[in-house]
């Protein structure tokens, strides 16, 4: 199957949407990422800046996109990018170069990035406002220097732009609502990641190391087209699952323990973010099963709540009620439901949020609240739903539950009718997990 892609016209439409919002006689400047040094003269694998990628689909470092809107409202798109250079390309890889960039990226013009310091001030001279992303601090410093220099030109200081405006909110709102093409890619990466979770569940055996499951799941992502994980894979056996951002992944998986895997692939920049928790030996113990079913019920209730024009905070309230009620029934919490809810006692065992937006960033951009008012969910929003219970050793509850950490995380898209679970292909029902794991165990015994 060929992977879905974002067509050039969609990138152009995104740039035009920004141009439409800009005032006349202004410029918008967005930077690509730089290569990051790993050690001495070797670099980390390059990952493009998500905003730059969203507006261009161009995966080279050291480029700058400039959107210009004339005094009469005419828009144009210009890029500074790495020049063609035979020697550099022999050492470091192919470069698109200016000529091809204009055609392939649908630009009006492109210039060598070696000319930025002279050509960019010339483009900015005479515009009223410059839009940029304040979080791109490196570019921000450069723009400040350029504008300060323009201010100091004798008798022409009036040509320096007088406003520097952060345009992050525009881009975040656009990125929050996924297009059909983006959703097709997110479904594809969810499918690849779901298959990888299933295979890794079947692969798991007592005595393996956590990093063997990490290797297996990342191998599965890569061979099916999602070459990189979208974030650092978490594989936590036993009590390691109670460390929320555990990434050591270097302990032996023990018979009788659960293992939590939080892992997702990245496809064309878009992330999947799936967590499953399952028994190392393929069978849940009574205590593990009791806690697991509470988390699953809480997740299902939360997913049900997440509909168009609803609020994540309300889904969280419903989820927390199920968790608290379940912990009371097990004797992990004591007292009345009302008192426990009022005192937020669940927070000892569920200390993170219900979920987050998902897209080009695993913790994707987009406002959750504006001036203290929660934002209602809109169709096209993709988010995770990931309740958990983490009963760390030494917790103030019966010892039989100590060292059990459980999270169940799926990715959903809000639709006009309700929601769709992108990651439904990984089993999460306890009996389905046990059945999936037992088929392989039976086969390996024959
Ligand atoms: N994998 C990171 C998260 O679940 O938020
Ligand atoms: Mn997540
Ligand atoms: Mn996750």
The percent of residues in the chain predicted with pLDDT above 70, rounded, is 98
Give bridge partners of residue 354 from the DSSP assignment: none
Residue 1: predicted pLDDT: 61
> What is the 222 CA–ligand 1 centroid distance (Å)?
19
Q: β-strands 234-237, 258-263: how paired?
A: antiparallel
Sign of CA dihedral 53, 188, 262, 358: positive
Report the nearest atom of ligand 1 relative to the CA of 363. 5
DSSP 8-state class, residue 83 = P
Give all domains of the chain, ordered by start, each with its CATH number: 8-174 (3.40.350.10), 177-444 (3.90.230.10)
Ligand 1 contact, 364 CB (< 6 A): no
Ligand 1 contact, 273 CB (< 6 A): yes
Give bridge partners of residue 410 from the DSSP assignment: 385
- Average pLDDT estimate for 128-141: 98
The token pair that represents 303 in the structure block: 């997913």
Q: Strands across the sheet with 419-421, in order?
A: 382-385, 410-414, 419-421
- Average pLDDT estimate for 302-325: 98
The answer, yes or no, to whether residue 146 has pLDDT greater than 80, is: yes
Check if 128 is active-site: no
Q: Residue whose CA is closest, atom 2 of ligand 1?
A: 273
d(CA 431, CA 442): 16
Residue 439: predicted pLDDT: 85
Least Cα distance to 109 among 52, 149, 64 occurs for: 64
Best of 189, 232, 262 to mutate for ligand 1, by most ligand atoms within 8 A of CB?
A: 262
Least Cα distance to 299 among 386, 378, 374 occurs for: 386
> What is the 201 CA–ligand 3 centroid distance (Å)?
16
340-353, pLDDT tens digit by residue? 999 999 999 999 99
Report the nearest atom of ligand 1 relative to the CA of 275. 4
Residue 3: predicted pLDDT: 83
**Average pLDDT, rounded, for the chain:** 97
d(CA 419, CA 368): 18
Residue 444: predicted pLDDT: 62
- In this structure, which long-range contacts are made by residues 243-246, counting pairs with CB atoms below 8 Å and at least 24 apart in sequence? 243/405, 244/351, 244/352, 244/390
Ligand 1 contact, 292 CB (< 6 A): no
The answer, yes or no, to whether residue 305 has pLDDT greater than 90, is: yes
Exactly one of 245, 304, 329, 347 is catalytic; name it: 245
Check if 407 is active-site: yes
Residue 125: predicted pLDDT: 97
- Average pLDDT estimate for 125-134: 98
The answer, yes or no, to whether residue 399 has pLDDT greater than 70, is: yes
Ligand 1 contact, 49 CB (< 6 A): no
**What number of helices (H) and strands (E) belong to the chain?**
13, 21
3-state secondary structure of 370: strand
Residue 442: predicted pLDDT: 62
Check if 197 is active-site: no
- Global confidence as pTM: 0.97
The token pair that represents 313 in the structure block: 């905070």
Ligand 1 contact, 231 CB (< 6 A): yes
The answer, yes or no, to whether residue 273 has pLDDT greater than 90, is: yes
> What is the 384 CA–ligand 3 centroid distance (Å)?
8
- Average pLDDT estimate for 16-31: 98
Ligand 1 contact, 386 CB (< 6 A): yes
């Amino acid at each position: 199957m060929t992977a879905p892609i974002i067509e050039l016209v969609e990138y152009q439409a995104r740039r035009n949407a920004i141009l439409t919002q800009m005032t006349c006689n202004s410029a918008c400047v967005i930077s690509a990422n730089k290569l990051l040094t790993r050690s001495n003269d070797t670099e980390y694998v390059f990952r493009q800046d998500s905003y730059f990628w969203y507006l261009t689909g161009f995966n080279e470092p050291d480029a700058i996109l400039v959107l210009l809107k004339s005094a009469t409202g005419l828009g144009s798109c210009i890029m500074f990018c790495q020049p063609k250079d035979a020697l550099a390309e022999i050492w470091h890889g192919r470069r698109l170069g200016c000529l091809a960039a204009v055609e392939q990226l649908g630009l009006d013009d492109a210039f060598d990035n070696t000319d930025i310091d002279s050509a960019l001030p010339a483009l900015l001279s005479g515009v009223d406002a410059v839009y940029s992303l304040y979080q791109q601090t490196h570019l921000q410093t450069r723009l400040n220097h350029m504008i300060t220099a323009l201010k100091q030109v004798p008798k022409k200081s009036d040509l320096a732009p007088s406003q520097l405006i952060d345009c992050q909110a525009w881009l975040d709102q656009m990125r929050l609502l996924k297009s059909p093409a983006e959703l097709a890619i997110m479904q594809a990466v969810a499918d690849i990641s779901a298959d990888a979770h299933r295979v890794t569940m079947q692969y798991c055996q007592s005595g393996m190391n956590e990093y063997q499951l990490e290797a297996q799941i990342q191998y599965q992502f890569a061979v099916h087209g999602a070459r990189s994980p979208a974030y650092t894979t978490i594989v936590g056996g036993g009590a390691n699952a109670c460390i929320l951002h555990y990434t050591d992944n270097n302990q032996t998986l023990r018979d009788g323990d659960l293992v939590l895997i939080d892992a997702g692939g990245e496809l064309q920049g878009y992330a999947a973010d799936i967590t499953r928790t399952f028994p190392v030996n393929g069978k849940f113990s009574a205590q593990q099963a009791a806690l697991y079913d509470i988390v699953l019920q809480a997740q299902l209730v939360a997913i049900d709540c997440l509909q168009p024009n609803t609020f994540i905070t309300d889904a969280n309230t419903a989820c927390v009620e199920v968790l608290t009620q379940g912990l009371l029934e097990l004797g992990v919490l004591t007292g009345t439901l009302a008192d426990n809810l009022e005192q937020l006692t669940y927070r000892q065992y569920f200390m993170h949020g219900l979920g987050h937006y998902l897209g080009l960033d695993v913790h994707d951009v987009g406002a959750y609240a504006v001036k203290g008012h929660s934002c209602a969910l809109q169709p096209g929003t993709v988010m995770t739903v990931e309740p958990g219970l983490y009963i760390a050793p030494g917790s103030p509850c019966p010892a039989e539950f100590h060292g059990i950490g459980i999270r169940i995380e799926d990715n959903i898209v809000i639709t006009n009718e309700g929601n769709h679970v992108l990651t439904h292909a990984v089993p999460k029902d306890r009996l389905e997990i046990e059945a999936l794991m037992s088929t392989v165990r039976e086969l390996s015994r024959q």
